[in-house]
């Protein structure tokens, strides 16, 4: 078409865009099942970025991430089991858009084992800001990847379940589904018991710690504060670390 060899060679400098370019621009999404019903999940080339419940997914994603969203035909490997168990097992998360404190908070939440709960103050201490209990609440309310970072396992120190991104009812369902005995916790809270100690081991734990659940009734002692347990001669459990929070 071009008689001029220079023009033909210039036209030959045009190339095809590389196949991976779109993944650096757009996120993919899919609807998947979870213990609390269907969820919409979006991910980038770096990992899962957003888990949403209910209507308004695309609008919420757009205002939060400002990135195009394209439907995928299958979820990333490991997503569905991770939503079911709260264990990532190698599933990558993309938390790039978050601030340092929020990322530290989410990392602290990941340390709570399935079937157990920890107070907000404990998360604040592990995130490196022992006094920032309210800020932890705010950070968890904006957790972009609930279930994958199991913020439903963070509860109030007075025994109430507290708020949740997907609403308190979903929090209750998730905790019951993973075997937390909410009735027992509630009973203890009514008696103002927030720590359980064993007089055979001399150790004091959070009530949902697997060490606390093994204590037989005859050897179990309840305490309202960690200070009281310490005065009575108990040392904080090295597994659930009740000492890791501001008194």
Partner 1 sequence: MDCLDPVRKALLDDLDEGFAELYGVHRDVVFSTALRLSGRWADAEDLAAETFLRAYRAVAGYDAERIAALQTRPWLLTILMNIWRNCARAKSRKPPPDLREEPMEVVDPREGVEDAALRKETGDELAGLLAQLPEEQRLAVVLRHVADLPVVEVATVLKIPQGTVKSHVSRGLKRLRTLGGVR
- When the beta carbons of 2 and 231 are compared against partner 1, the nearer one is 2
Site membership for partner 1, residue 10 (CB under 8 A): yes
Q: Name the catalytic one among 151, 205, 237, 240.
A: 151
Return the biggest CA–CA distance within the chain: 98
Q: Which of 228, 236, 154, 221 shows the shortest CA–CA distance to 188?
A: 221
- When the beta carbons of 19 and 247 are compared against partner 1, the nearer one is 19
- When the beta carbons of 13 and 247 are compared against partner 1, the nearer one is 13
Residues between 40 and 69 with contacts to partner 1, criterion CB under 8 A: 58, 62, 66-69
Residues between 175 and 204 with contacts to partner 1, criterion CB under 8 A: none
Active site residue 240: no
How many residues sit in the footprint of partner 1 (CB under 8 A)? 25
Site membership for partner 1, residue 90 (CB under 8 A): no
Site membership for partner 1, residue 31 (CB under 8 A): no
Please pick, from the candidates 22, 31, 77, 176, the single residue that binds partner 1 as defined by CB under 8 A.
22
Burial of residue 163 (number of CB atoms within 10 Å: 0-12, 13-18, 19+): middle
Site membership for partner 1, residue 11 (CB under 8 A): yes
**Closest separation between CB of residue 63 and partner 1, Å?**
9
**Binding range to partner 1, per CB under 8 A, among 8-16, 78-86, 131-139, 220-228:** 8-16
What are the residues whose beta carbons fall under 8 Å from the beta carbon of 163, sequence distance 6 or more? 137, 141, 171
**Closest separation between CB of residue 67 and partner 1, Å?**
7
Site membership for partner 1, residue 5 (CB under 8 A): yes
Site membership for partner 1, residue 73 (CB under 8 A): no
Residue numbers at the binding site for partner 1 (CB under 8 A): 5-7, 9-18, 21-22, 24-26, 58, 62, 66-70
Residues known to be catalytic: 151
């Amino acid at each position: 078409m071009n008689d001029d060899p220079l023009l033909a060679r210039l036209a030959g400098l045009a190339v095809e865009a590389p196949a991976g370019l779109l993944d650096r621009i757009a996120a993919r999404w899919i609807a998947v099942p979870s213990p609390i019903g269907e969820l919409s999940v979006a991910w980038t080339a770096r990992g899962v970025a957003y888990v949403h419940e209910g209507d308004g997914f695309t609008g919420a994603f757009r205002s939060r991430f400002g990135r195009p969203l394209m439907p995928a035909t299958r979820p990333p490997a490991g997503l569905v089991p991770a939503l079911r168990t709260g264990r990532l097992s190698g599933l990558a998360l993309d938390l790039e858009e978050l601030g340092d404190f929020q990322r530290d908070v989410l990392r602290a939440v990941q340390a709570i084992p399935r079937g157990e709960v920890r107070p907000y103050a404990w998360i604040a201490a592990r995130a490196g800001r022992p006094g920032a209990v309210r800020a932890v609440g705010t950070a968890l309310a904006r957790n972009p990847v609930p279930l994958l970072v199991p913020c439903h396992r963070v509860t109030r120190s007075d025994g109430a379940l507290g708020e949740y991104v997907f609403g308190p009812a979903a929090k209750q369902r998730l905790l019951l589904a993973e075997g937390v005995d909410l009735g027992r916790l509630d009973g203890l809270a009514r008696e103002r018991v927030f720590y359980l100690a064993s007089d055979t081991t001399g150790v004091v734990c959070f009530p949902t710690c697997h060490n606390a659940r093994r204590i037989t009734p005859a050897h179990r002692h309840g305490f309202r504060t960690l200070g009281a347990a310490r005065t009575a001669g108990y040392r904080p459990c090295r597994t659930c670390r009740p000492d890791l929070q501001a008194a």
